[in-house]
Copies of this chain bind each other. A is one copy, B any other.
């Protein structure tokens, strides 16, 4: 459902939450920084961008998924406040890979409730200090442990099941699926904070190591360290501080943790529901969207994402890739940051990174990956194999 339904019976109220600052670390294998330092780095960059002091922040929300398992560190909310020498309300939220966008949603709720005027939402993940096996096991916490993880399923396996279901029902070919990663690397090569800044071609994807049939290594997002922060404010304060970009819609929906208990494997329903409520609140339709940052943890996930967002009908999302429509200079730009595939996927930082990219585009600061004349962008963040999905609408307002 949309964030605010105060005017429920008479239709949804208008919401305008200003973005006053954004900050992001370089994504990648950051061996010189731990969880705390990564988070602090992003926080300070966002404060610098917002030109405010830490004391002006009323509360903080921080997304993190694997800190407890991989770093022995829970209680990241208190860490986020301590980093800025604050004793204010500071809370960790977690919904696996959707944790970052939940931090944004809770920040909006805090502002809308009157509990806070300026809120910092962050996401941080430290994943490269341990073995790939440890990371794979930790990430499986996003699925259903009893129905999936216990029996040996991993996330590449889950998304391979989705890919096979989709390809058996619709006309997506292996070659067109590879176009998702090719396009995301094209964008990543134009993004200075991306983990991979090199272009690839279809053969790179098709000839890379098989991970879970039909997904090869280049269909899968990498293991990444990174953090991102965004500072939000009430409309009044944001205007005073000269904000150019506002969040006008927030949708969140959930579904069963396991694939076995879903209504259908041919869509990610939570994404569709989240988009519908965010669009309703923002008063937009898919045709109004100038670009989207979506959750491509695996190439197939991006096909589901563009369909959930209504950029294509169910079963036809692959056509956008066949026709190369999702490049930054084409009709339906998707993942100009490079997406999770090329930009990297420090899981809880991803939802905030998507927001950082949306704001960057709407400020016209996208440089070589800029979407010309962009006024409305959406972000789409998924937890697990689709048990949580969040959609936010960002809008440029002069």
Residues of A within 8 A of B (CB): 1-6, 8, 13, 34, 36, 58-59, 65-69, 71-79, 81-82, 86-96, 102, 105-106, 108-110, 112-117, 137-138, 140-146, 149-150, 252-257, 261, 269-270, 273, 383-384, 387-388
A68 & B138 in contact (Cβ 8 Å cutoff):
yes
Q: Which residue from B68, B96, B253 sits with its C-beta under 8 Å from A89?
A: B253
Query: Which residues of the partner chain B approach A77 to less than 8 Å between Cβ atoms?
Result: 94-95, 254, 388
Minimal Cβ-Cβ distance residue in B for A13: B114
Complex Cα distance A142/B110, Å?
A: 24
B94 & A261 in contact (Cβ 8 Å cutoff):
no
A78 & B95 in contact (Cβ 8 Å cutoff):
yes
Known A-B contacts: A72-B140, A106-B109. Give 10 more (CB < 8 A).
A1-B58, A36-B146, A72-B145, A73-B149, A74-B96, A78-B383, A78-B387, A87-B253, A90-B254, A112-B115
Query: Which residues of the partner chain B approach A95 to less than 8 Å between Cβ atoms?
Result: 75, 77-78, 91-92
A3 & B79 in contact (Cβ 8 Å cutoff):
no
Query: Which residues of the partner chain B approach A108 to less than 8 Å between Cβ atoms?
Result: 113
Minimal Cβ-Cβ distance residue in B for A81: B254
Query: Which residues of the partner chain B approach A261 to less than 8 Å between Cβ atoms?
Result: 82
Q: Which residue from B66, B78, B109 sits with its C-beta under 8 Å from A110?
A: B109
Known contacts A86-B254, A91-B95; decide if A388 and B75 are in contact (CB<8 Å).
Answer: yes
Minimal Cβ-Cβ distance residue in B for A140: B72
A219 to B: closest C-beta gap in Å = 23
A192 to B: closest C-beta gap in Å = 30
B145 & A3 in contact (Cβ 8 Å cutoff):
no
A94 & B113 in contact (Cβ 8 Å cutoff):
no
B72 & A149 in contact (Cβ 8 Å cutoff):
yes
A31 to B: closest C-beta gap in Å = 16
Known contacts A66-B68, A75-B387; decide if A82 and B257 are in contact (CB<8 Å).
Answer: yes
A75 & B257 in contact (Cβ 8 Å cutoff):
yes
Q: Which 3 pairs of residues, A with B, have the shortest CB-CB distance?
A: A6-B114, A74-B141, A78-B387
Complex Cα distance A370/B366, Å?
A: 64
Query: Which residues of the partner chain B approach A256 to less than 8 Å between Cβ atoms?
Result: 78, 82
Known contacts A82-B261, A142-B75, A145-B71; decide if A5 and B114 are in contact (CB<8 Å).
Answer: yes
Complex Cα distance A253/B88, Å?
A: 5
Complex Cα distance A122/B257, Å?
A: 18
A269 to B: closest C-beta gap in Å = 7
Query: Which residues of the partner chain B approach A113 to less than 8 Å between Cβ atoms?
Result: 3-4, 6, 108-110, 112-113
Known contacts A82-B387, A106-B106, A137-B72; decide if A91 and B93 are in contact (CB<8 Å).
Answer: yes
A77 to B: closest C-beta gap in Å = 5
Query: Which residues of the partner chain B approach A89 to less than 8 Å between Cβ atoms?
Result: 1, 105, 252-254
A258 to B: closest C-beta gap in Å = 9
A6 to B: closest C-beta gap in Å = 3
B270 & A87 in contact (Cβ 8 Å cutoff):
yes
Known contacts A82-B261, A88-B253; decide if A74 and B142 are in contact (CB<8 Å).
Answer: yes
Complex Cα distance A264/B295, Å?
A: 45
Complex Cα distance A255/B13, Å?
A: 37
Query: Which residues of the partner chain B approach A78 to less than 8 Å between Cβ atoms?
Result: 95, 254-257, 383-384, 387-388
Query: Which residues of the partner chain B approach A150 to less than 8 Å between Cβ atoms?
Result: 72
Complex Cα distance A91/B138, Å?
A: 19
Minimal Cβ-Cβ distance residue in B for A108: B113
- Which of A140, A144, A261 is packed against the most chain B CB atoms within 10 Å? A144
Q: Which residue from B75, B96, B106, B116 sits with its C-beta under 8 Å from A75?
A: B96
Query: Which residues of the partner chain B approach A384 to less than 8 Å between Cβ atoms?
Result: 75, 78
Complex Cα distance A42/B284, Å?
A: 40
Q: Which residue from B109, B141, B269 sits with its C-beta under 8 Å from A68?
A: B141
* 7 cross-chain CB contacts under 8 A: A5-B115, A65-B74, A72-B150, A75-B384, A93-B93, A109-B109, A109-B115
